[in-house]
Amino acid sequence: MVKRYLTVTSLDATLSLLNTSFACIPSREVVPLLKSVGRVTAEPIFARYSVPEVHLAAMDGIAVVSKETEGASEQHPVTLDHALRVNTGNVVPPRFDAVIMIEEVHVQNEKFTIRKAAPPWQHVRPAGEDIGESEMALPSRHLIRPSDTGALAAYGITDVTVLTVRIGLIPTGSELVPHGDHPSPGQVVESNTVMAEAMLVTLGGTCTRYPMVKDNPDEIKKILRQAVAENDLVIISAGSSAGTKDYTAEVIAELGEVLIHGIAIKPGKPAIIGRIADKPIIGMPGYPLSALTVLREIVLPLLHRFGLPVPSWETIDALFTVSVSKDIGSDEFILCSLGHVGNRWVLSPLSRGAGVQMSAVRSNAYLKIPAGVEGFEAGKSVTARLTVPRTEAERALLVTGSHDPLLDYLADLLMQKEVDLHSTHVGSMGGILTLKKNECHAAPMHLLADDGEYNIPYLQKYLPGEDVVLICVTERQQGIVSKEGIGFDGLCGHTFVNRQRGSGTRMLLDHLLKKNRIDSSDIRGYEREVTTHLAVALAVKSGEADAGMCVYSAAKALGLCFNPVASERYEIAIRSEYLDDPRVSALCDTIISPDFKAILHRLGGYDTRETGVRRVLP
Amino acid sequence: MVKRYLTVTSLDATLSLLNTSFACIPSREVVPLLKSVGRVTAEPIFARYSVPEVHLAAMDGIAVVSKETEGASEQHPVTLDHALRVNTGNVVPPRFDAVIMIEEVHVQNEKFTIRKAAPPWQHVRPAGEDIGESEMALPSRHLIRPSDTGALAAYGITDVTVLTVRIGLIPTGSELVPHGDHPSPGQVVESNTVMAEAMLVTLGGTCTRYPMVKDNPDEIKKILRQAVAENDLVIISAGSSAGTKDYTAEVIAELGEVLIHGIAIKPGKPAIIGRIADKPIIGMPGYPLSALTVLREIVLPLLHRFGLPVPSWETIDALFTVSVSKDIGSDEFILCSLGHVGNRWVLSPLSRGAGVQMSAVRSNAYLKIPAGVEGFEAGKSVTARLTVPRTEAERALLVTGSHDPLLDYLADLLMQKEVDLHSTHVGSMGGILTLKKNECHAAPMHLLADDGEYNIPYLQKYLPGEDVVLICVTERQQGIVSKEGIGFDGLCGHTFVNRQRGSGTRMLLDHLLKKNRIDSSDIRGYEREVTTHLAVALAVKSGEADAGMCVYSAAKALGLCFNPVASERYEIAIRSEYLDDPRVSALCDTIISPDFKAILHRLGGYDTRETGVRRVLP
């Protein structure tokens, strides 16, 4: 029988329990001053000596006894008996108490004549001006900045005692292969503890990744016991669910106690909080985005209590573009693309699959939908949390519509202009509707109308009277991808993989089927939909289907055969009002750049003769 | 004759010239994935294989042929001929196209019976769901986040090619000693290239610090030639001024050209922009805060052009607390303490001395006053740039008034409660006036009135009718500090060092002199003013003065003699409305904590019997 969580604990209750259950006493380590930036002091730091230790000249000039300069004026110059030539930074010996700038001194035969009195301590940097011997330069718990290192160096400090937390990371799972190995089908690269280490080390954590352990409770127990002895906190990756091969909770219970099994968050529900020898043990789910959520929402707050410098996520109020429903009772975290369109921020969800790490890579923000909410309608105002600096979010260019691999290359080129292209693949029709709602900057499309015209008839229908410009990216070849060179006329005899409804490629296929009087029900797999050209090619390469329709570059990338069936106009629609937006103009400039055209030629299947041609709606 | 800058270039013109004069082509380096967080990709990164490579079960259950499940219902259960037990993550072999959760399956004698049809591809993670083979995972110029590393690890990436800039750092100056050595009088620790390296390495720079060079043009030239050959950018520390021993400009001119000598910024004016072999050469002034300003305002924008991830400083509008005047024509940068008091942000300048590195350490913000402005009045609204995260600035507790070394220890204890105490030493009277203007949270003071009462008469006079609470920190001993045990009655025969007018210590001294009928003009050095207790003790230790008046802890810290002359009440005045502010209540809690009392006893000269006693104005 399958084990189930008896109870699921809310995120708030989980965080409270962590607060009350653990003392969170950090460890300390000594690091060289040059490695101390971003670390947190474990104890106050005191100046070893005064800086400066003696009075110094603050100007090039002469050191004088101020009393001897009294009465000097233009009318009554004074020639000094006692004076000493000093440069900036030279010691002002104790018998002197002022410095006169060399420009104000007449020098002849090593005699100094002045025409203005010097008040005591003029142009003298007094001993201890910067800091006094034994004075506290930095308190404990101070986050060390680069400018602090200069001061500490000057005060005689070469090493700094900083806070750390020793964190043991235990990867479990019989299906794991180490990072760097190519996994066989059904195997998985052990990437979650890599991500955890990368994240926790930047905060000053000292991570030990233990060897991968198979799904064997005795082996897990042995390594967990060792990890608890050697660390302040232990994170066990995977095995935290309730399946037949999930032993994490059982092993924690044997060595200590399970405080929580199952947390009301999505993704991340199968998480565990345990305690062994008064130390916190976190069972982190195996799905990468579940792991990410548990790290961000549970482990980071815990490390903050240990004193590590966990950053706060900046928030931005934005319009959420789609309707979502969710289970009541769980906090749900949705990775999103955030961009500023028109006069407001727009937030679009990325794939919610817990295995889709590209959602994390593509996202620049995330949304927390609280447990008490069942979901909400598109157009709601929400508060997003940024995962990039705000300035980077301001550079986001939202491109929503038809997918083509060339968009990734456009994104690559645009990064050099500091524009961050976020492309969302919702098909050509999806792009038109997003453009209509003014929720993207640009919508790529290739929609063939009955009259043989591309795109314009659809824009006229859906955005009548609106001021929209079409910019041609390329004329591109669509064709049948296969292992064996199947052509359009051979489709009926083979298994097919289709694109989703609303995509231009799907509409092109339907157009061609109709034209050739082929009934779609004669095509096996017609109902099997995927959302990108590469997904079509992959389905063919993996043997799931014999053929599909996609662009040439996708077939070429996977070394498959390609039989062209049509050339189509792939254009980007942009509201004219945004053409002057620096992000949009960078996009337009990049489309016509020689670098981009060279990439199109290299990828193959793209004709650039029309590239950059602008059309306005008649 | 002293050389002078012929012309001084504005900061804006300097940055423009840097933009037009240098191509800023970054270098690249390959780093292990785990070391790549915070770095910027030098080229796009592609997935080595699809993830997943084949269809996987997304649930524990059975893999089925969806067609065979058609028609299954509660009334008509279907027992399947073809099905395979799978766990989450197991391969779904090509002959199957759906998964049914195990909870929905009746298992008997290895036969599977179901009561609900499975639509095609139900609970299947399709091959390439996350990413397809050859697909672009990251564009170039992407700032790598921890969550990206997990994805890259899963996609088969072990090493990442990232941008760097090779930066040569050349410390010059005959007065320098290496970081870690105790400087003799007139010597200086070489801390500027330490600070530069600490700052530039965090951005992904590859720094080479060359050996210190004396003020010798031939030696500087030799090492500069080597540094130019080995780096993309060279920074020469010091020697950039126009003194007799400043050779930086001369050497750059011999190897290439000096584009700018003298930039209209304060601090930082004696800076140089040069070009050798098409590479930028920066002459960075020797004063630490001048160096910091040149790094922040000139080198960081240049590195941004090279593609390094230079953070943008967040800004906050604040009320500036003092009047400032400045030279027109120069941008001036003033390090400040920023805190939120009442309903607005308050910005107070720290010492403007270019050698006072503690200003950088103590500051959490800075103010740029543009070249065109001559200065402004106190109370002006200005825009500050933060040098800490905004959340840290929100934790700033502004304590302004009388100085005592115990404030540093209070600050240290408060950091553990995440309160960041910023103390500004303006004397007791200065604190009262700041409190009156509502520009601080708390004002420490020890003002003796003629009637022998402490503090209350002054608050009644300057803040009549206001709701203010006094909290006693300690009764503390003031006394005469000396090397030889001088007492109050011995002051006339020795040199004295005084505290500034308005400080409680000065007022106590004047009170005692008057009471003892001593004329201040009989005290040699009475007019010599310093601003802290430790500065008084330092002046005595250095031999500048024979005696001064300060608290016991300062004398003890420097191992000097101390003759008590009075015990005084050191209290903190707080507007009652702020007592509930978490920062202020943390301060009050800390004052009465056993930890703090233990520190006071250890420091010595403090009586804690009255500590924590509250008094309200009658």
Closest B-chain CA to A145? B199
Which residue from A134, A142, A527 is facing B415, i.e. has the nearest CB?
Answer: A142
A195 touches chain B (CB under 8 A): yes
CA distance B47 to chain A (A): 11
- Whether B107 has its CB under 8 Å from any CB of chain A: the answer is no
Distance CA B122, CA B101 (A): 10
CB contact under 8 A, B535 and A126: yes
pLDDT value of residue A357: 95
Q: What is the per-residue pLDDT across B87-139, written as a single tens digit (0 to 9) for each?
A: 888 999 988 989 999 889 998 888 999 999 999 889 999 889 999 999 999 99
Closest CB to A136: pick one of B186, B189, B408.
B408
Q: How high is the pLDDT of residue B121? A: 87
Mean pLDDT, chain A, integer: 94
- The helix (H) or strand (E) run that includes residue B114 is strand B111-114
Quote the CA–CA distance of A516 and A518 in Å, as a whole number.
6
* Angle, helix B192-201 to helix A146-154, in steps of 10 degrees: 160
* Closest among B93, B108, B21 to B63, alpha carbons compared: B93
Flag whether residue A618 sits within 8 Å of chain B, measured between CB atoms: no
Q: Is B465 exposed, middle or buried (0-12, 13-18, 19+ CB in 10 A)?
A: exposed
Residue B157: other Cβ atoms inside 10 A: 23
DSSP-assigned states of every residue in A451-508: TS-BSHHHHHHHSTT--EEEEEEEEEEEEEEESS---GGGGGGSBEEEEPTT-HHHHH
Give the residue among A408, A164, A536, A285 at the shortest CA–CA distance from B150: A285
B174 has a pLDDT exceeding 50: yes
Q: Cis ω on the peptide bond leading into residue B52 (within 30° of 0)? A: yes
Query: What is the mean predicted confidence (pLDDT) over A51-79?
Result: 92
Nearest neighbour of A128 by CB, restricted to B129, B288, B534: B534
Q: Do B186 and A132 touch (CB under 8 A)?
A: no
| A137 closest CB neighbour out of B94, B131, B361 | B361
Q: How many CA atoms lie less than 13 Å away from B506 in the CB half-sphere?
A: 21
Cβ proximity of B146 and A195 under 8 Å = yes
Q: What is the pLDDT of residue A2?
A: 35
Task: Give how far A571 is from chain B: nearest CA, Å.
Answer: 22
Nearest CA-CA distance, residue A425 and chain B, Å: 14
Whether chain A has a CB inside 8 Å of the CB on B395: the answer is no
In A, which residues are within 8 Å of B37 by CB distance?
198-199, 201-202
HSE-up (13 A, CA, CB side) for residue B40 = 26
What ranges in A236-393 are assigned the alpha helix state H? 248-255, 288-294, 300-305, 357-362, 390-393
A610 min Cα distance to partner chain B (Å): 26
Contact A137 B33 (CB under 8 A): no
Say yes or no to pLDDT of B449 above 80.
Answer: yes
Chain B CA closest to residue A150: B195
Does the beta carbon of B532 lie under 8 angstroms from any beta carbon of chain A?
yes
Q: Look at B56 and A201 and tell me if their CB atoms are within 8 Å.
A: no
In this structure, the number of other CB atoms found within 10 A of the CB of residue B308 comes to: 23
Neighbours of B514 (CB within 10 A): 12
User: What pLDDT was estimated at residue A584?
Assistant: 98
- Which chain A residues touch B304 with a CB distance below 8 Å? none
Give the CA-trace dihedral at B105, B109, B111, B114, to 10 degrees: -30
Q: Could you tell me where the DSSP H helices lie in A209-299?
A: 217-230, 248-255, 288-294
Say whether A433 sits in a helix, a strand or coil: helix
State the pLDDT confidence band at A5, using cuts at 50, 70 and 90: low
Helix (H) or strand (E) holding A540: helix A533-541
* Coil, strand or helix at A279: strand
- Which of B154, B361, B409 comes nearest A151 by C-beta? B361
Q: What is the percent of chain B where pLDDT is above 70?
A: 99
Beta strands, E only, A8-165: 27-32, 45-46, 56-57, 61-64, 78-80, 83-86, 98-101, 105-108, 111-114, 124-125, 136-138, 159-164
CB-based contact A199 B146, cutoff 8 Å: yes
- Distance between CA A297 and CA A357 in Å, rounded? 17
Per-residue pLDDT of B555-609, as tens digits, reads 998 999 999 999 999 999 999 999 999 999 999 999 999 999 999 999 999 999 9
Specify whether the CB–CB gap between A611 and A588 falls below 8 A. no
Q: Which residue has the tokens 């990890």?
A: A227
Preferred mutation among A179, A336, A540 to probe B, highest tally of B CBs within 10 A: A179
pTM for the structure as a whole: 0.94
- DSSP at B579: T
Quick one: pLDDT at residue A6?
60
- The mean pLDDT of chain B is 94
Place of tokens 């000396």: B482
**Angle, alpha carbons A41-A42-A46 (nearest 5°):** 70
**Secondary structure (3-state) at B250:** helix
Residue B212 gets the label, from left (phi > 0), alpha (psi -120 to 50) or beta, of beta
Q: Which residues of A touch B201 (CB under 8 A)?
A: 34, 37
Q: Are strands A176-177 and A188-189 parallel, antiparallel or unpaired?
A: parallel
Tokens 């700052």 belong to residue? B199
Q: Is the pLDDT of residue A3 over 80?
A: no
Q: Do B151 and A52 touch (CB under 8 A)?
A: no
- Which residue, among B325, B209, B16, has the nearest Cα to A153 in the 3D structure? B209
Contact B147 A416 (CB under 8 A): no
Asked if A54 and B186 come within 8 Å (Cβ–Cβ), the reply is: yes
Dmax (CA) of chain A:
114
Buried b (16+ CB within 10 A) or exposed e, A357-380: bbbbbbbbbbbbbebeeeebeeee
- The SS3 call for residue A141 is coil
Q: Which of B105, B85, B104, B88 is nearest to B96 (CA)?
A: B85
DSSP class of residue A313? P
Instruction: Determine whether the interchain pair A245/B121 forms a contact, defined as Cβ–Cβ distance below 8 Å.
Output: no
With beta carbons under 8 A apart, name residues in chain B contacting A51.
357
A65 in Cβ contact with A120 (< 8 Å): no
Is A131 at the interface with chain B, CB within 8 A? yes
CB contact under 8 A, A151 and B180: no
In a mutational test of the A interface, the residue from B121, B147, B159, B534 whose CB has the highest number of chain A CBs within 10 Å is B147
Size of interface A-B (CB pairs under 8 A): 345
Residue with tokens 């937006």: A581
CB contact under 8 A, B532 and A132: yes
Both tokens of A190, joined, read 């052990």
Chain B contacts of A407, Cβ < 8 Å? none
Cβ neighbours of A130 in B, within 8 Å: 353, 355-358
Write out residues 110-129 of A within 8 Å (CB-CB) of B.
120-121, 125-129
Condensed to tens digits (0 to 9), the pLDDT of residues B322-372 reads 999 998 999 999 999 999 999 999 999 998 888 899 999 999 999 999 999
The arithmetic mean of pLDDT across residues B484-513, rounded, is 91
Phi, psi of A274 (to 5 degrees): -130, 175
Does any CB of chain A come closer than 8 Å to the CB of residue B134?
Answer: yes
- Please give, rounded to a whole number of angstroms, the shortest distance from the CA of B128 to a CA of chain A: 6
Amino acid at B382: V
Extract the tokens encoding A29: 């380590």
Bridge-based pairing of strands B324-325 and B344-349 is unpaired
What's CA A314's distance to the chain center, in Å?
A: 13
Test B388 with A143 for CB contact under 8 angstroms: yes
Please check the confidence at residue A1 and state whether its pLDDT lies above 70.
no
| CA within 13 Å, CB half, A412 | 20
**Which of B163, B38, B52 is closest to A358 using CA atoms?**
B52
> Would you call B131 and A358 a contact, using CB atoms and an 8 Å cutoff?
yes
Q: Give mean pLDDT, residues B531-540.
A: 90
pLDDT digits (tens, 9 = 90+) for A142-179: 999 999 999 999 999 999 999 999 999 999 999 999 99
Q: Does residue A4 surpass a pLDDT of 60?
A: no
Which of A167, A200, A393 has its CA nearest to residue A292? A200
**Closest CA in chain A for residue B45:** A412
Q: Which residue has the tokens 């995120």?
A: A11
Q: State the pLDDT at residue B6.
A: 60
